[in-house]
Structure 1
Amino acid sequence: MDEGSDARTPIILGVDDLRELPRTTRLARTSREGVRLLEEHRDHRIDELWLDHDLGGDDSIMPVVAVLEEAAFDGRPFDIGIIYVHSANPSGAETVVRVLRRWDYRVRRAPA
């Protein structure tokens, strides 16, 4: 085995209906896909999670946020290095930041 061969590729997930988010290793376009993506990574370290508030039509990031909240409420928060909220909707983005910080997730606003 080579030295450093146990180094893992960072897991960077994104949920955004329009942006490409080139740094992400997996990208969901709807809240339903975002929830599925989180469930697939439930027992893995997520290095970064990028969230957009508005996901087209009546869809928003709030179902994904609810999964994160519920996990923290149950005492099993997701292992996430940092969550970036990058929304053109300032009030929606602030809501996401406030809710997730309440559950001790590391959250930052990023330019949309």
Structure 2
Amino acid sequence: MNERSGAGSPVILGIDDLRALPRATQIARTSRDGILLLEEHRNHEIDELWLDHDLGGDDNIMPVVALLEEAAFDGHPFSIGMIFVHSANPSGAETIVRVLRRWGYRVRRTPAQSP
């Protein structure tokens, strides 16, 4: 059973190597830290999840996407109100949107803002 993390405050998580994401309540800067952040919130409702594709160097968001995909495949998807993909990488962003929608997540692509 999913529970809210805070006493009525929205849970807005961001995974982005550069952007400030002022609405986010927590930010991870690498895919590894993004996975840990999601696991911390595994049994809680996440209001918004903001994803960037390219996370610096050879790192990208796909390990996080794989975690979300695997959870849905196992019948226990993360409880996320909306996933926003804000990457400046058009093909990467479309891949994220396509994969996550396939597994029933609500996903919206939004323009990337400069860091």
Aligned to 1:79: 79
Q: 1:60 aligned to 2:53?
A: no
TM-score by length of 1: 0.94
Aligned to 2:98: 98
Matched pairs, number:
107
Q: Which amino acid aligns with 1:48?
A: E
1:10-65 CA deviation, whole Å, 9 max, x = no partner?
00000000000000000000000000000000000000000000000000000000
Q: Which amino acid aligns with 1:83?
A: I
Q: 1:45 aligned to 2:45?
A: yes
Q: 1:108 aligned to 2:108?
A: yes
Q: 1:21 aligned to 2:21?
A: yes
RMSD, matched Cα:
1.0
Structure 2: stretches of 5+ with no match in the other structure: 1-5
Q: Which amino acid aligns with 1:62?
A: M
Displacement of 1:7 in angstroms is 5.1
Aligned to 2:32: 32
Q: Percent identical across equivalent pairs?
A: 79
Displacement of 1:93 in angstroms is 0.2
| 3-state SS in 2 of match to 1:45 | strand
**4+ residue runs over 4 A deviation:** none
Q: Max radius of gyration: which structure?
A: 1
Displacement of 1:109 in angstroms is 0.3
In the alignment, the residues of structure 2 paired with residue 108 and residue 54 of structure 1 have an alpha-carbon distance, to the nearest angstrom, of 17
1:58-84 CA deviation, whole Å, 9 max, x = no partner?
000000000000000000000000000
